[in-house]
């Protein structure tokens, strides 16, 4: 509503027709589209950035796990080399497996005519069991 204070009476805009300005509407639509594109680009940028940070933390965790596994592997290699020593094998055989060293009357002899393979070796004097031949003994 317009007022003309010099004349002392109000002038109303009754005779101005109401119409939509297409140029202003297109400008408004273009500005909204630009704002939405900028907002979309920001959302995509933030999602990519957060994914990169997540992958960085995952890489750091895997590197820490790799160091741990390598130290465990090194410890196992050292333990395996320690257990391969003849003194340790002898100690484990006597204590954990209950084995005994050979007595003087237990000598490994080869049978003539069998060749050089493992089947040629036989114990010279072993204890006789009361089991019948062809059946396993119950001394296990």
Query: Quick check: is 139 in a domain?
Result: no
* Number of domains comprising the chain: 1
Query: Quick check: is 103 in a domain?
Result: no
Query: Quick check: is 27 in a domain?
Result: yes
Query: Quick check: is 123 in a domain?
Result: no
The radius of gyration of the chain from alpha carbons, rounded to an integer in Å, stands at 48
Query: Quick check: is 62 in a domain?
Result: yes
Instruction: Report if pTM > 0.75.
Output: no
Query: Quick check: is 94 in a domain?
Result: yes
User: Running along the chain, 140 residues long, what does each successive block of 10 average in pLDDT?
Assistant: 58 74 93 98 98 97 98 95 87 86 72 57 46 47
Query: Which residue range is the domain that position 63 belongs to?
Result: 21-98
**Helices 22-83, 86-95: inter-axial angle, 10-degree rounding:** 80
- Could you tell me which residues come within 8 angstroms of residue 1 by beta carbon, excluding any fewer than 6 positions away? 10, 12, 13
| DSSP 8-state secondary structure symbol assigned to residue 107 | -
């Amino acid at each position: 509503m317009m007022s003309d204070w010099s004349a002392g009476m109000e002038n109303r805009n009754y005779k101005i027709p109401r119409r939509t300005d297409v140029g202003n509407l297109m400008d408004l639509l273009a500005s909204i589209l630009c704002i939405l594109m900028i907002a979309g680009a920001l959302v995509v940028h933030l999602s990519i950035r957060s994914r990169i940070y997540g992958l960085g933390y995952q890489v750091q965790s895997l590197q820490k796990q790799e160091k741990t596994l390598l130290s465990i592997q090194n410890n196992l290699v050292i333990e395996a080399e320690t257990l391969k020593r003849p003194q340790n094998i002898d100690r484990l055989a006597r204590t954990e497996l209950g084995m005994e060293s050979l007595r003087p009357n237990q000598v490994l002899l080869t049978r003539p005519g069998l060749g050089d393979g493992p089947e040629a070796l036989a114990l010279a004097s072993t204890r006789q069991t009361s089991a019948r031949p062809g059946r396993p003994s119950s001394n296990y």
